[in-house]
Chains A and B, each alone.
Chain A
Amino acid sequence: MAARAPFILASVVALLASSAVLQFGPLSPMVHSEPRVDFADEVLPILATNCLRCHGGVREMAGLNLSDEASVRSVLRSGHRAVVEGKPSQSELLTRISTSDLDERMPPDGAGLSQSEVATIRRWIAEGAAWGTHWAFAPRVSLEQPAKTGAASPLHPRWPRNDLDRFVLAGLDAANLKPAPEASAETLVRRVALDLTGLPPDDALRAAYLADPSDAGYARLVESLLASPAYGERFARIWLDLARYADTQGYEKDGRREIWPWRDWVVNALNSDMPYDDFAVRLLAGDLLPNATDDDRVATAFHRNTLTNTEGGTDNEEFRMAAVFDRVSTTWQSFMGVTFQCVQCHGHPYEPIAQREYYEFLSYLNQTADTDRDDDAPRLAVERSGVKTSVPVMVELSEAERRRTHRLERGAWTAPAEEVLPALPRFLFGAGVAPIGRLAMAERLASADNPLFARVAANRAWETLFGRGIVETSEDFGAMGSGASDRALLDHLAGVLVAREFSMKALLREIVLSATYRQASEVSPAAIARDPDNRRWSRAPRLRLEAEQVRDTALAVSGLLSRKMGGPPVMPPQPEGVWQVVYSGDAWNTSPGEDRYRRAIYTFLRRSSPYPSFIAFDATSRETCTVRRIRTNTPLAALVTLNDPVYLEAAQALAISVRQHHDDTIAVRAMLERALGRTARAEEVDRLVELVTSERARYAERTELARTLAGLAAHDSTDLARDAALVAAANAILNADDFLTRS
C-alpha cells in the first residue's frame, strides 16, 4: 500500500471567487448566470423524499426506478418515458407530479410536491436532464483555502489557526456568526485529555500546561496525549463497537470466546498510529498479506466477532451465511458509511445499487474456512500479555475448496439464483472493477480513490471530538442520510488524512490544534440563539461523557484507576444475580486486586448480559456493528452513579484524599477541583460545605451507619461522622453535571 493514488483535483479554483458557492456547497464545475439545476443536490433529494419508496430499487412500481438512470430514460411498461430530455411536456414524471387530477397525481398521498419542487424538476428536464452522482459517492474535490482566494473573513482575520479554521470561518461569515472566544486553559486541558485519551489529564500534564498555556504549551500537551498509551484505549472503544467485539459467542449458550488479543491488537495499532488504510487492510485481509505475521493474522479476528449459534439442530450453512452477511454489513458500515444490508434481499431502495452487486461483493468474504461453530473456526496460538491463548482468525480456502457464490432470492440462503463473480459495486468504483481476491478488494476499498473511505474516517474523527459528525448520520452518507453540514470542510479533512498518508494522529492533531476546537462551550444566550444546533461550529459542544469515560474518570479522579493494559477481560463488581445463565455454570467472579479498577474497555462483555452500568450510559451489547451511540439522559443512569458500589468506592477514595484538611472549605474545594479539573466557584464550595455540615450532624449520633457509608474511609478514621459526610459530598460531586460532562 505504499503506492497511493494521486489526490484527485478538480479545477474549481476559479469558482471560489464566488463566495456563495463556497459557502452554500454545490460544487458544480459549470458557471452560469443562473446556475443549471444540479441533479444530485436538487433533484435527487426531492425524489428520495417523495418517490423512491415506491419507485426505487425495492418496489420499482410501474417498472420505474428513479434511482437508476437507465430506468428513468427508458420506455416504461405504460409506453411512456418518465423523462424525455429537454422536453418537460413529454415527460411522464412531470405530468404526474403536476397534474391536478388527484387520481393521477403522484405521490398519491399527501399534498403532493410543492410548486418550487415541481419547478426544479421541470427546469432540470428542460435543461437536458443531466444525471449526476450523489456528492458522497463522487470524488473529493480539492479546494483552495478560502484565505488564498480573497474570501478570507474580513471580520476575524486573525482567528484562524490552520486551514480547517478557514473553512469553518467561511461558514460562520456566511451565516453572519462569529466564533466563540477561546476556552479557558483549565477547560481546554480537561477537554482535550478526555477527547484524546478518555481520561482526565494527570496532575503533571495539567500542571505543566497551566504553567505555560501558550500555543507551544498547548502543542506539547497535545503531543503528550497523542503519545500516551491511553490514546489507543480510548479510540479502540470506537472500533470495538464497530467490530461488535464481545467476550462471548452470542445466542443460546453465549459461551465464552477468547478473542481479547484482537482488542489488544487494535489498541496497539492505534497507539503506533498504523496508517488507517493499512489498518483497514489488516482487519479485512491481514492473513493474505505477503509474509503475514501473527499480528497480521490476529487483526483478521475483526470478522471473527460474529455471533455463532451452537443450539441443537442448527443448520451450519444457515448461520455461516448469517455470519457472512454480517461481515458484509459491518465492512460497509465501518469503512464506507453506506447502508448495504438492505441490498441482501432486493435492490437498494435509495441508492443505485443492484441486489446482484451485493452478492458480487459478498463473494470476497465467502471464501474463508469456517462453519458456524466457534470451535470450528481456525485458531492461531499466540502469547499476549504473558498469557498463552488462541485466537479465531481468518484463513482463506484453497483454490480447490473455493465456494461458488450465488445471488440469493430475497436473501434466503435456501433460494440461490444465478452464480456471481467477485466485483465491487459500480456506483462507487465504476463498471468492471473486480479485484482478484479478498486482499485486493481490501486494498481497493482502503484507497484514496474510494470516495467514501477517507471521508468516513474524517467524519468519525470529527464526530468523536465534536459529538456530532459533519455528516450527522455517520452510518449513512447516502441520499437518505442527513447530508453534510459543510462538504468543503469534510473534504478538506479527508484530504488532510490522505495527504498525511492516513495518519489518524495527524488528522486529530489538525483538529485539536484548530481555533474551532479551542472555542469555549459556555457562550451567551444570544450566541446560542443565533446557532442553536451549532450547525456552524460557532462554539464547542458540551457532551455527556461516554459510558466508558464515566467509569474511567470516576476511578481516575479518586486515584483508584489501574493503568494496567491488555490481557484477558476482567470482572469489576457487578450486582449479584445479573448473570443467570442457561445451560452453563459460568459465573461472574469479581476480579481481585488492581483488576477491579481497570479501564472500562477491559470489562468482560457477555452479549446476553452486558455490564449493566455501561448500558445505562448507552453502551451496547455488541450484537451488531454500532456506528453511533445515541446519548440518552435517564433516571436509570442517575441511579448508577448515585448508588453503584463502584462509584461509592470512588467517592470514598476521593474523600480520603482530602480529609487531612480539617477545614471543610478546603477539603470540599480540593474534591471539586480534582473531580471537575477546574477552579471551584465560591457558590459551589459553599453549597457543598453546607451539605457536609448538615450530614456530619446527621451522622454524629449514628456511628455504625457512618462507618458503613465511610467504607474505605472508615479505616484510620478519626471522625467517622465527618468522613461519612465527606463521602456524601464526594458522591454529589461525582454526579455533578460538570463532572459527567466535558465542556
Chain B
Amino acid sequence: MITPNEPIRETNDTAARAAAEVAQATRRTFLGNLAGGAAAFSLGGIALSELLSREARASGSARSDAPTEDPLAPRAPHFAPRAKNVIYIHLAGSPSQLELLDYKPKLAEFHGTPCPDEYLKGEKFAFIKGHPTLLAPQHTFARAGRAGLWTSDLLPNFRTIEDEVCVINTMTTDQFNHAPAQLLLHTGESRFGAASFGSWVGYGLGCETRDLPAFVVLVSGDKTPDAGKSVWGSGFLPSVYQGVQCRASGDPVLYVKDPEGMMRETRRATIDAIAALGRLGFARHGDGETEARIAQYELAYRMQMAVPEAMDLTRESAATLEEYGASPGNPSLANSCLLARRLVERGVRFVQLYDWGWDGHGTSPSDDLLTQLPKKCREMDQPVAALIRDLRRRGLLDETLIVWGGEFGRTPVAEFRDGNKNFLGRDHHPHAFTMWMAGGGVKGGTVYGETDELGYRIARDPVRVKDLQATILHLLGLDHMRLGYMHAGLNHRLTGVQGDAKVVRGLISGG
C-alpha cells in the first residue's frame, strides 16, 4: 500500500515497483477474501459489493464508496481443471457439416428426390419455400486417423491432426437465424443481454496476466459476427469482463497507442505525474478506489507495450509463418490462429476467433458449395491444423482447449433460393450440426454421436448447446451450476436458469 510519505518523484524503476506493490497488495486482499472461491461465485451482483465492503473493513483504513479490488485477480476453480485456456474458433455463418465431417452417402443415393414428408412436418426454414429436394455431398470423403473418421477432401490438413480431435456430429440448437443462434452459443441466451462465454470464464477464474486483457477477440474475414459485439459482451456481468477486440489494423486494442507526437518517455512521465497527484489525494481521503486507479494506470502503461508485442507476428520465424500460412499485416484466420497461440502463451485465458464468410446458401459464387466453401476451407484448414501441431510441440495443447464450429448446421436439402438453380447451397439447419474440440482434457481421435441416414436429425447422443457449454466449463474446472450471477431476480448461468445442462462425459478423456 502506498503511504503518503513516499517521495513524490521517482525514477521509472521505482515507480513501476511501487505500482506493482500496489497491485500485489490489492490482489492479496482480494484473494484473501475470495479464497473461499467457489462460494463467492454463486453470490453474484449483490454479493460483489458485500465482498468489497468486507475488504474495506478488513484493511481498516480504506473506504469503499465503490469497488476497490481487482476483479480479474486469479481465482481458484471449483475442482482440478483439465484445461487452463480456451481458443474458440467460430466460423460465422456456419459451414456445411455435410460437406466436411458428417458423411452421408445416402444423400448421394437420393440426390434430387423430394425430401421425405416426415421431415417437413412443422418445419420452418429461413429461406427455402415449397418442397425441397435432397442434395448430395458436393465433395468427396476419405477415412483418416485412428478412428477412421470420414473426412472431406476439403480438409487435407485436418486429417493429420485428427487423433487430437473429438468430432461431435450431433450438436443441436433451437435457433435457426444467425444472430440468435450465435447469441445462444456464446451467451447461453438467444436474445441480447446475457454474458458471453469468455466473460463468464473471466468472472469465474480471473486472469493469469495483467499485461494483457483476460478475454481477447480476434476477427477475420472483414466482418463482425451477425450478432455484433454482443457475442463477446459482458451482458449483466460487470463490463470489466467483456472481451477486448484485438485488431489487425489500427490500434491492436482501442486507444492502446499513445497520441500522435507523444513520446514513450513523455507517457511514462505523465503516468508518474498522474500517480503522484493520486497519492496526494489518497493521503487526504484514503479512498481505496484512488489507490486502485493508480495501479490500473500502471497496468495500462504495461499493456501499451505488451499488446503490440503480443500482436506482432513479425517476431515469428519464417517457418512458423509458413506453417500457418500467416502473413503479418494481412488480416486472416491464419494470422488469428497464430496470434491466438501467442496470446495463450502470454497468459490470456480465453481467445475467441471469429471468421466471417461461411453462410453457404448457394445464391452466388460467393456463398456456394463449389467455389466459396473450398476457398474458405483453404483459408481455415491449414492454420487450424498448424495451431494444434504448434501447441502440441510447445507443450501447450494439454492445457489449452480448442473449440471449432459454426452456430448451426446446413440442411440436407438444397436451397435453390427463388428457384435459382445456378449455384448449390444449403439453408440454415438447427437440428444437427458438427463441432469439434481438441486439447485440454478432450478424448482425441473420437467421433461422438450419430445423425440419421440423411443427416437431418440426430439418431443417438444429442449434444445441446448448453451441454457443450457445461462440458467446456467442466474442463476448465468450473461447475456450471455453481458459476452463477444474480440478476433481475434470477440466478443466471451460462447454461441457463433451468439448470438442466449436462456435462458430456463421452467428450472427455478418461470420461
A residues near B (Cβ < 8 Å) are 250-252, 254, 307, 309, 311-315, 322, 329, 333, 338-342, 348-351, 467-468, 472-473, 475-476, 478, 480-482, 521-523, 525, 528-529, 532-534, 541-544, 575-578, 580-582, 607-610, 612-613, 615-616, 618, 620-621, 623-624, 630-640, 642-645, 648, 681, 683-684, 687-688, 690-691, 694-695, 698-699, 702, 705-711, 724, 728-729, 731-732, 735-738, 740-741, 743
B255 within 8 A of A: yes
Could you tell me the distance between the alpha carbons of A702 and B261 in the complex, rounded to whole angstroms? 10
Contact call A698/B303, Cβ cutoff below 8 A: no
Contact call B273/A732, Cβ cutoff below 8 A: yes
Contact call A607/B177, Cβ cutoff below 8 A: no
Contact call B192/A521, Cβ cutoff below 8 A: no
Residues of B close to A340: CB separation below 8 A: 489
Contact call A339/B180, Cβ cutoff below 8 A: no
Q: Which B279-312 residues sit within 8 Å CB-CB of chain A?
A: 280-282, 284-287, 289-290, 292-294, 296-297, 299-300, 303-304
Nearest A-chain residue to B176, judged by Cβ:
A313
State the Cβ distance, A670 to closest chain B Cβ, in Å: 16
Contact call B67/A632, Cβ cutoff below 8 A: yes
Query: Would you call the interface of chain A mostly helix, strand, loop, or mixed?
Result: loop
Residues of B close to A481: CB separation below 8 A: 46
Nearest A-chain residue to B60, judged by Cβ:
A529
Chain B interface residue count, CB cutoff 8 Å, equals 100
Q: Which B235-250 residues sit within 8 Å CB-CB of chain A?
A: 238-240, 242, 244, 247, 249-250
Q: Which B257-275 residues sit within 8 Å CB-CB of chain A?
A: 257-263, 265-267, 269-271, 273-274
State the Cβ distance, A78 to closest chain B Cβ, in Å: 25
Residues of B close to A609: CB separation below 8 A: 224, 228-229
Residues of B close to A482: CB separation below 8 A: 46
Q: Which of these binds chain A: B80-88, B119-127, B454-462? A: B119-127
State the Cβ distance, A459 to closest chain B Cβ, in Å: 15
State the Cβ distance, B330 to closest chain A Cβ, in Å: 15
State the Cβ distance, A347 to closest chain B Cβ, in Å: 12
Residues of B close to A541: CB separation below 8 A: 65
Residues of B close to A521: CB separation below 8 A: 65, 285
**Interchain Cβ contacts under 8 Å between A and B, 20 examples:** A252-B179, A252-B227, A307-B192, A309-B179, A340-B489, A342-B490, A475-B488, A521-B285, A532-B63, A543-B65, A580-B222, A612-B255, A623-B230, A633-B67, A690-B9, A706-B261, A709-B262, A735-B270, A735-B274, A735-B297
Q: A313-B176, A621-B229, A709-B259 are in contact. Are A638 and B297 (CB under 8 A)?
A: yes
Could you tell me the distance between the alpha carbons of A522 and B290 in the complex, rounded to whole angstroms? 13
CB < 8 Å A-B pair total: 295
Contact call A608/B273, Cβ cutoff below 8 A: no
Q: Which of these binds chain A: B49-57, B100-108, B136-144? A: B49-57
Nearest B-chain residue to A473, judged by Cβ:
B46
Residues of A close to B490: CB separation below 8 A: 339, 341-342, 349
Contact call B287/A635, Cβ cutoff below 8 A: no
Contact call A687/B296, Cβ cutoff below 8 A: no
Nearest first, the 5 closest Cβ-Cβ pairs linking A and B are A608-B228, A339-B489, A708-B261, A709-B261, A313-B126
Contact call A634/B277, Cβ cutoff below 8 A: no
Residues of B close to A610: CB separation below 8 A: 229
Could you tell me the distance between the alpha carbons of A731 and B193 in the complex, rounded to whole angstroms? 35
Residues of A close to B292: CB separation below 8 A: 633
Residue in A251, A639, A684 whose CB lies within 8 Å of B304: A639
Q: A472-B49, A480-B486 are in contact. Are A311 and B178 (CB under 8 A)?
A: yes
Residues of B close to A543: CB separation below 8 A: 65-66
Contact call A525/B61, Cβ cutoff below 8 A: yes
Nearest A-chain residue to B489, judged by Cβ:
A339
Nearest B-chain residue to A644, judged by Cβ:
B255
Q: A314-B177, A687-B276 are in contact. Are A694 and B269 (CB under 8 A)?
A: yes
B185 within 8 A of A: no
Nearest A-chain residue to B356, judged by Cβ:
A582
Contact call A533/B269, Cβ cutoff below 8 A: no
Residues of B close to A702: CB separation below 8 A: 263
